[in-house]
Amino acid sequence: MKLSDYVIYFIVKQGVSQVFEFIGGAITHLIDSTVDRDDVECVSVHHEQSGAFAAEAYARINGRLGVAMATSGPGALNMVTGIGSCWFDSVPCLFITGQVNTYEYKFDRPIRQIGFQETDIISVVKPLTKYAEMVTDAAKIRYHLEKAVYLAKSGRPGPVLLDIPMNIQRAQIEPEQLESYFNSQEYRGLQTNDSCPLERLDEIVNLIVSAKRPVILVGGGVRTAQAAAELLTLVETTGIPVVSSLMGLDAVSHDNQEFMGMIGSYGNRYSNLTLANCDFLLILGSRLDSRQTGTRPDTFARAATKVHVDIDPVELQAKVLVDIALQCHIKPFLQALNEKLAMAVKPDIADWVKVINGYRQKYPTRMAPDKSDTIDPNLFMETLSAASTEGDIVTLDVGQNQMWAAQSFRLKKGQRMLISGGMGAMGFALPAAMGAAKAAPGTKVIAIAGDGGIQVNIHDLNTIFQHRLPIKIIVLNNGCLGMVRQFQDMYFDGRQQSTVIGYGCPDLGKIAEAYGIPSLRITSSVDAEKCLKEALQKDGPAFIEVMLERATCVNPKLVVNRPIEDMSPELGRDELAREMLIELVEEGEVPK
């Protein structure tokens, strides 16, 4: 059997039906091995970064594995941003790169290159992968594939990469004689422990039952662990209010009355007030990065007894000191906790819920209506979410568009929201929408981007058209790179170099139509509802451009050196003091 045929056979066995790739000479054997199969499809993108992002979204929707391939040299390097995105956001993806023949590769020789497009991709991606290896022995291909996929999906998931030289791809192998990783001493010697240390479970139950102001903080780890159903049981059993990180937004339906929005630097003000005033905080699968805690992690949920559950031990007690830290898979933890709570007394938090609902009513994120017809992006997101349907998938780019959607798009039952969290890569939304659409055939996908982000991978409008993917592309166009422009306005005296000065954007609607995708433009809030209904109900792809004022900002926003409840635009000190159930924190030095 030809080795490249075996690789594709192995991929299909993992439940993968689509491989995202941009062909090059060094992977032609692998691509050719898909041609005569009807159980796998090559999705040919126009840039390797797109393929990597698409594979990430594919994995996040199918819950198993994503696969992307690229040729050696520039092809492999172009995938690195997508590999890093999977690394930071814990997504299991297998990346396969072609490489020059082993007899053309430099190995330890002190020269830069021998073969054409030869590049040491393994050294480049090792810090961003759970496993990266060049396959130099054809007889070890099964071993490397099994090890790579096992590591990608075990523990805290993440990306892996196999670099396969051309002479290895075309080698003949005996499949039945190939060495298995699962029969190896290496695998048997792994100290795997999937159990959950539950010695303190009764203590946690008592903390929940006795809490007067409890809150659950949901991170992306809940989705990674496929534990959304267990989370819902916990919320229904206890009635405890839920806030989320950016990555945890789709772990619970926003129609749920216990959902209280997103916290953090660009969170909802009412959500940050909720977390700031809690007396018990259960943190599930969140790494508590600075976008959640602000630059004052010492003030984060400072009046609360905190319990942090995460699969990765290095994330525990790393940024925020907690009272109970459990290294544990979220799913078995929630299963055990729910079993205990089913027999416990439900916490009495009626007064606390009234306070939180007061926050939400008093401090809505969208602006108050004005007489002008200027589009308020938060109100637009509410309109867009109302026009969407249950089960839709939403992908977000990076920038102001991402924050407006995170603040105000109300996710319905069964909807997913895919976000580039840790990497924060512009250009994510469009290819992620392709991967999601391929993972869930027939499902409508809404890709939300800004005029800057959409231009990064705009070439794959052609892929969307060719595959007739039901992707609705929403571009919020304020004619600048708005997130950084807002930062410049705050901290650089309004000097807008490279965000306004030097930045350009063509007629995006004409570009979409050149690719064969119908487009329309929304210029006023009056038109928004009608246009969105029309576009979202049509079959096939559509491109919707939403015109915003250049000066449109994301508000509220946390500034440096403030606790998360003290956001800009600032509340008066007396008003903030009235809303807080604990003492205010005054501005001080940023902790080192």
pLDDT in tens, 4-15: 999 999 999 999
Residue 592 predicted with pLDDT over 60: no
Q: Could you give the CA distance from residue 71 to residue 491 in angstroms, rounded to a whole number?
A: 43
Model confidence pLDDT, tens digit, residues 411-465? 999 999 999 999 999 999 999 999 999 999 999 999 999 999 999 999 999 999 9
Task: State the virtual CA torsion across 385, 371, 543, 399 in degrees, nearest 10.
Answer: -70
Final residue of a domain: which of 530, 547, 564? 547
Predicted local confidence at residue 588, as pLDDT: 60
Does 422 reside within a domain? yes
Q: Could you give the CA distance from residue 411 to residue 408 in angstroms, rounded to a whole number?
A: 9
Residue 238 predicted with pLDDT over 60: yes
Q: Could you give the CA distance from residue 530 to residue 524 in angstroms, rounded to a whole number?
A: 11
Q: Could you give the CA distance from residue 69 to residue 44 in angstroms, rounded to a whole number?
A: 10
Predicted local confidence at residue 371, as pLDDT: 58
Predicted local confidence at residue 383, as pLDDT: 94
Look at the chain and report how many structural domains it folds into.
3
Answer with the residue of higher pLDDT: 275 or 527: 275
Predicted local confidence at residue 490, as pLDDT: 87
Instruction: Please name every residue paired with 573 in a beta bridge, in sequence order, or none if there are none.
Output: none
Residue 127 is part of a domain; what is its CATH number? 3.40.50.970
Does 382 reside within a domain? yes
Residue 589 predicted with pLDDT over 70: no
Model confidence pLDDT, tens digit, residues 193-225? 566 888 899 999 999 999 999 999 999 999 999
Confidence of residue 514 (pLDDT cuts 50, 70, 90): very high
* Residue 348 and residue 425 in one domain: no
* Residue 515 and residue 443 in one domain: yes
Q: Which residues, at least 6 apart from 215, have a Cβ–Cβ distance to it below 8 Å?
A: 240, 241, 242, 243, 260, 274, 275, 278, 280, 281, 282, 301, 304
Distance, first Cα to last Cα, the chain: 59
* Residue 184 and residue 205 in one domain: no
Model confidence pLDDT, tens digit, residues 378-387? 999 999 999 9
Confidence of residue 479 (pLDDT cuts 50, 70, 90): very high
Residue 587 predicted with pLDDT over 80: no
Q: How far is CA 230 from CA 233, 234, 501, 516, 529, in A?
A: 5, 6, 50, 43, 35
Q: How far is CA 518 from CA 374, 454, 466, in A?
A: 24, 16, 14
What's the alpha-carbon Rg for the chain, to the nearest Å?
25
Does 591 reside within a domain? no
Q: Tokens at residue 370, please?
A: 């004005």
To the nearest whole number, what is the mean pLDDT of the chain? 94
327 with 198: CB under 8 angstroms?
Answer: no
Q: Could you give the CA distance from residue 94 to residue 119 in angstroms, rounded to a whole number?
A: 19
Confidence of residue 494 (pLDDT cuts 50, 70, 90): very high
* Residue 277 and residue 309 in one domain: yes
* Residue 381 and residue 274 in one domain: no
Residue 591 predicted with pLDDT over 70: no
Residue 306 is part of a domain; what is its CATH number? 3.40.50.1220
Confidence of residue 368 (pLDDT cuts 50, 70, 90): low
> If we measure between CA atoms, which residue out of 114, 36, 125 comes closest to residue 80?
125
* Residue 222 and residue 335 in one domain: yes
φ, ψ of residue 210 to 5 degrees: the values are: -90, -10
Residue in the block written with tokens 């929630």: 334
431 with 453: CB under 8 angstroms?
Answer: no
Q: Could you give the CA distance from residue 288 to residue 422 in angstroms, rounded to a whole number?
A: 12
231 with 223: CB under 8 angstroms?
Answer: no
Predicted local confidence at residue 115, as pLDDT: 87
Q: Give me the mean pLDDT over the 262-288 stretch.
A: 97
Does 73 reside within a domain? yes
18 with 65: CB under 8 angstroms?
Answer: no
* Residue 51 and residue 174 in one domain: yes
3-class SS at 36?
Answer: coil
182 with 12: CB under 8 angstroms?
Answer: no
3-class SS at 339?
Answer: helix
Q: What is the pTM of this model?
A: 0.95
Residue in the block written with tokens 């906790």: 337
Of all residues in the chain, the percent with pLDDT exceeding 90 is 90
Q: Could you give the CA distance from residue 451 to residue 277 in angstroms, rounded to a whole number?
A: 38
Residue in the block written with tokens 């192995």: 10
Residue in the block written with tokens 């809490």: 211
Burial of 35 (0-12, 13-18, 19+ CB in 10 A): exposed
Alpha helices in 90-155 (DSSP H): 121-125, 141-153
* Residue 326 and residue 250 in one domain: yes
Predicted local confidence at residue 510, as pLDDT: 97
Q: Could you give the CA distance from residue 589 to residue 592 in angstroms, rounded to a whole number?
A: 9
Confidence of residue 590 (pLDDT cuts 50, 70, 90): very low
Answer with the residue of higher pLDDT: 297 or 196: 297
Tell me the longest C-alpha to C-alpha distance in the chain: 77
* Residue 64 and residue 134 in one domain: yes
3-class SS at 382?
Answer: helix
Q: Which residues, at least 6 apart from 345, have a Cβ–Cβ distance to it below 8 Å?
A: 209
3-class SS at 326?
Answer: strand
Does 565 reside within a domain? no
Predicted local confidence at residue 370, as pLDDT: 61
Final residue of a domain: which of 188, 218, 253? 188
Q: Tokens at residue 128, please?
A: 């961003």
Residue 124 predicted with pLDDT over 70: yes
What is the domain range of residue 454?
377-547
* Residue 230 and residue 168 in one domain: no
Does 310 reside within a domain? yes
* Residue 440 and residue 540 in one domain: yes
Q: Could you give the CA distance from residue 403 to residue 220 in angstroms, rounded to a whole number?
A: 16
* Residue 63 and residue 121 in one domain: yes
Residue in the block written with tokens 């940024």: 319
Q: Could you give the CA distance from residue 454 to residue 426 in angstroms, rounded to a whole number?
A: 8
Q: How far is CA 258 from CA 74, 134, 147, 319, 404, in A?
A: 48, 49, 41, 27, 21
Predicted local confidence at residue 189, as pLDDT: 85
Does 215 reside within a domain? yes
Predicted local confidence at residue 373, as pLDDT: 79
Does 573 reside within a domain? no
